[in-house]
Structure 1
Amino acid sequence: MEWRCAGLKEVGVVDWSAELSAGAALLAQSSTADRVAEVLRTRIVEGLLAPGTRLSEEAIGAALMVSRNTLREAFRLLCKEHLAVHQMNRGVFVRVLSVDDVVDLYRLRRLIECAGVRAIGQCPPGTLDAVRVAVDDAERAVTSARWRDVGTADLHFHQALAGLVGSARVDELMRGVLAELRLVFHVMPRPQQFHQPYLVRNREILQLLEAGDGTAAEAALTSYLDDAERELISAYRERGIGSQAVDDEREHG
């Protein structure tokens, strides 16, 4: 089955390898596979690397100025995180998630994010700053129709909700969940139509949290997540992507 992201620019090797060059500044001379994986993970969260994109060793190695062995270890880490998949005799590809993945991700999101909003009464001053920044960033991106940036800001909003739990382990877990979720977003043919209604709801949840009403915020968030899950599953079924993970996608570009 061939993956096509309707309404989105397909990402070729030249496009994203040029963008990756900026990530080289994040790597010290003694760069590790963990750091390389973080650069690639960030590009996935930003929506730059779409599902089915082949991760070229040559292009990425040149862009980040790292050895092939370091790069292969980074790929192994991404595969372990369910963000990439290795195909025998073909290479490593950004993973295409399934309907089962969507259901599982939303099950986990309800546990983590709802725990965050419930904790609002015990949060110290300034805890909501990251939530406010994410809401403001998304609304600014809308004014210039930067829908990829809107999607990124939305993920930051949900990361900030998880951050209300006050646990470094939860924060790390949520980063992985949201990286996978960004791959799910690519299934939506019209990003504006998908994201825009939820931005209003992000603002409403923020206002409830500012008022200290964790109960109402949790109810609003639960409804929000239920609606988003239904939309995404419907889009998957319309595209003919079933319950099993699709690991034999064709190369992009």
Structure 2
Amino acid sequence: MSNGLSLADQITLELRADIIGGRLLPGMQLVENELVGTYNASRNTIREALHRLGQEGLTRYVRHKGVVVRRLEHDDIRDLFQVRRTLELQAIAKARPLCEYQCDRMRDAIEAAELARDREDWRAVGTHGLRFHQHVVGLLGSPLLDEFFTNVVAQLRLVFSSAPDEARFQAPWLLRDRQIHRWLVAGDKSSASEAMACYLDDSEHQLLSTFTPSFRH
């Protein structure tokens, strides 16, 4: 293939993108026969793609159901935020003055989230908000870390999708993203880092308090 990806690679990327976009939700079944028809692929290719998603922590096998989109638990949330602190705070600490395209990509993600908020599309608010944080990690200039963090974002998307009231969860974060962006543009890494650390602490605390023990199954 011209892009160097196998069909299984492409299907894996598309299914992951559907998770990040909130189109595949926790608990949804991924039925082999349906995916064979959707992607005009062999059953072995579909199984390979589903296996890769399982390795990325995005799906799991359930007896009598097959492969389903994964529901994350409290320990997973803590682990995800440990990774976020490591990468996002390091990215800010090591950031050089923002290039115009870096500034624009962050601003575009924030503005897309604000437009989604205005139309009360809270799922899209979460997706675009996560895109802003992907651009923060992108300041490290590492394609390998970008790819790794994309998988982290997909798992976070599954956590957000499981929130009992996603609107209530997503609403507070946009102003904080915009303020972090302002400090990064101004070159005030100390303020941006402090704000991001508080952001991540508060977000983790809210998620952990949102999900009751019944979420852990």
SS at match of 1:86: strand
Q: 1:101-140, aligned counterparts within 5 Å? A: 101-121=76-96, 123-140=98-115
Give me the TM-score of the superposition, normalised by structure 1: 0.80
SS at match of 1:96: coil
Q: Supply the distance in 2 between the matched residues of 1:151 and 1:195 (Cα, whole angstroms).
A: 6
1:70 aligned onto 2:45: yes
Quote the residue 2:35 is aligned against: 60
Higher-RCO chain (CA-CA 8 Å, sequence separation at least 6): 1
Contact (CA 8 Å) 1:187, 1:235: kept in 2 or not? no
SS at match of 1:93: strand
SS at match of 2:155: helix
1:240 aligned onto 2:182: no
1:42 aligned onto 2:17: yes
Contact (CA 8 Å) 2:97, 2:187: kept in 1 or not? no
Quote the residue 2:206 is aligned against: 231
Q: Supply the distance in 2 between the matched residues of 1:123 and 1:207 (Cα, whole angstroms).
A: 11
5+ long unaligned stretches in structure 2: none
1:207 aligned onto 2:190: no
Aligned AA (1:64): Y
Quote the residue 2:139 is aligned against: 164
SS at match of 1:128: helix
Q: Supply the distance in 1 between the matched residues of 2:9 and 2:54 (Cα, whole angstroms).
A: 13
Q: 1:160-199, aligned counterparts within 5 Å? A: 160-199=135-174
1:144 aligned onto 2:119: yes
SS at match of 2:102: coil
5+ long unaligned stretches in structure 1: 1-26, 247-253
How far the C-alpha of 1:124 sits from its partner, in A, is: 4.1
Contact (CA 8 Å) 2:26, 2:162: kept in 1 or not? no
Q: Supply the distance in 1 between the matched residues of 2:14 and 2:128 (Cα, whole angstroms).
A: 18
1:80 aligned onto 2:58: no
Q: Supply the distance in 2 between the matched residues of 1:236 and 1:109 (Cα, whole angstroms).
A: 19
Aligned AA (1:35): Q
Q: Supply the distance in 1 between the matched residues of 2:15 and 2:102 (Cα, whole angstroms).
A: 28
Structure with the largest fraction of helix: 2
Among all aligned residue pairs of Structure 1 and Structure 2, give the percentage whose two residues are the same amino acid.
38
Aligned AA (1:176): N
How far the C-alpha of 1:125 sits from its partner, in A, is: 4.3
1:155 aligned onto 2:135: no
The number of residue pairs the alignment matches comes to: 215
